[in-house]
Structure 1
């Protein structure tokens, strides 16, 4: 029964992201102007490895930051987002294999990647622990998962406000703004090597591994 419920949630969220795909960059504009692009540049400056996966490429706002000379894959479950990301890959001249794929059911063999990168992705994964376990599966034993994610604030007033607003953001485009990603990483069995607050305790940068 649970798998059916998750499948339905996946379909609902996928439709929402496909619906907003052509407006997504405009919607992201506020975060970009508030430090988003700087945070993403910092994230990508830390990435090491020859085989890299961006899980949740969205409309491809990170593609211009991809390092050259690496084997890079990028996935997203929303086909409309993937179409825009492919156009950006052409625009920036980046050699990247972009595929439609669900982060909860990856089609890659075990221990494929040296590095996996996510950027504001785990707010919208229906079952975040299942998604993290899949990333762990395809990550090499000495690989690293690099994450830029917004999480629920531990500050009482801010955290409560995020809880109140969460049904609105989920209904609008499928994003949960009150996820406890630190706890989800621990549930998935990851070791947290770096956890840095970028904006209060809401926007965080993580480096984790097995």
Structure 2
């Protein structure tokens, strides 16, 4: 379902003060463990987190890397800035859309995102921007929920998707692996332990 970036931004702005609480149960049960596995693969000196949100990944930031993080929602970024101050983290935060990154070509060793591309209006455009700002040999790390390979479940997800987009601005039926494969990455690996609907993806430029 195609929804404008402004509408999605407004929905995340609206949810920002309660976002951590809304996802608290799933975060503790599933997501935190997966985030830890994703961040364990980070390499290099300069790392970009796309879709920092409220700063849920701050606990996993590598000690020695120079960290930059972006989000397109001003209210979500405000939450991240407050959390940054409380945790006394050294991370540069920018208000920015992944579909139009204001960084030079070949800037980052690793770009990382968790549960972000469900909300990007033009995901392939955002992925191509990430490819552009990655250094040669740099890696993209993604943790994303995707359309089920089960036909009945996929049909249900497609049916429910318009409602989910209206409520929270997130598509539940994205085919993110195919979107990554449509970009000119040298190699793409989907973690074989990934579940049917939650994928850990590594792509190398």
TM-score (norm 2): 0.95
Q: Which secondary structure state, in structure 1, belongs to the residue aligned with residue 4 of structure 2? A: helix
How does 1:1-210 map onto structure 2 within 5 Å? 9-196=4-191, 200-210=195-205
What is the rounded CA distance, in whole Å, between the counterparts of 1:192 and 1:153 in structure 2?
A: 23
| CA deviation after TM superposition for structure 1 residue 198, in Å | 5.4
Structure 1 runs not aligned, ≥5 long:
1-5
What is the rounded CA distance, in whole Å, between the counterparts of 2:115 and 2:142 in structure 1?
A: 8
Structure 2 runs not aligned, ≥5 long:
none
What is the rounded CA distance, in whole Å, between the counterparts of 1:120 and 1:176 in structure 2?
A: 10
CA deviation profile, 1:125-152 (whole Å, cap 9, x unmatched): 0000000000000000110001100100
Number of residues of Structure 1 aligned to a counterpart in Structure 2:
204
Give the ranges of 4+ consecutive aligned residues of structure 1 lying more than 6 Å apart after TM superposition.
none
Which segment is superposed worse, 199-208 or 177-186?
199-208
The alpha-carbon distance between structure 1 residues 199 and 136, as it changes in their structure 2 partners (threshold 3 A), is closer
What is the rounded CA distance, in whole Å, between the counterparts of 1:43 and 1:18 in structure 2?
A: 26
TM-score (norm 1): 0.93
CA deviation profile, 1:66-104 (whole Å, cap 9, x unmatched): 011211100000000001001111222210000100110
What is the rounded CA distance, in whole Å, between the counterparts of 2:27 and 2:193 in structure 1?
A: 13
What is the rounded CA distance, in whole Å, between the counterparts of 2:187 and 2:169 in structure 1?
A: 27
**Cross-structure match for 1:3:** none
